[in-house]
Amino acid sequence: MYRVSDLSNKYAYDFSLKKSLAKIFSPELDRNDPHQITAFINQFVTAHEWEWNELTLYACQRLELLIQEKLPKEITNKKEVCKWLVRNWRK
């Protein structure tokens, strides 16, 4: 399980935000919310049935990087984010 404490310090997360189920299940992804990012990454891992190990931790870090640095800013819908990640994983 990817945790908030696993997130990279180089991204500007708003740690003052409280964990909210309404936000976690929202169809939109807020890149500044550390709880939404970790929940999204964990859902991605579960959906792809990845076994939790060191390789999966590396993949989670890669997902975080792709979301924060490569994902176009106009893509905020979680389904579209998933599609974009799958299409761009190897680039």
Per-residue model confidence as pLDDT tens digits over 35-72: 999 999 999 999 999 999 999 999 999 999 999 999 99
Count up the domains in the chain and report the number: 1
In a domain, 21, yes or no: yes
- What is the token pair recorded at 24? 């976690």
Provide the pLDDT for residue 38. Answer: 97
- Domain with 40 in it: 16-88
Other Cβ atoms closer than 10 A to 28: 11
- CA atoms of 51 and 17, how far apart (whole Å): 30
Convert the pLDDT of each residue in 4-42 to its tens digit: 999 999 999 999 988 888 888 899 999 999 999 999 999
Q: Where do we find the tokens 């997130």?
A: 7
Look at residue 73 in the predicted model and tell me its pLDDT: 96
Looking at residue 41, its pLDDT comes to 97
Cα distances from 78 to residues 4, 10, 28, in angstroms, run 19, 23, 6
**pLDDT, position 63:** 97
Show the tokens assigned to 11. Answer: 């991204």
Decide if 65 is inside a domain.
yes
Q: Is residue 51 part of a domain?
A: yes
Q: Quote the pLDDT of residue 20.
A: 87
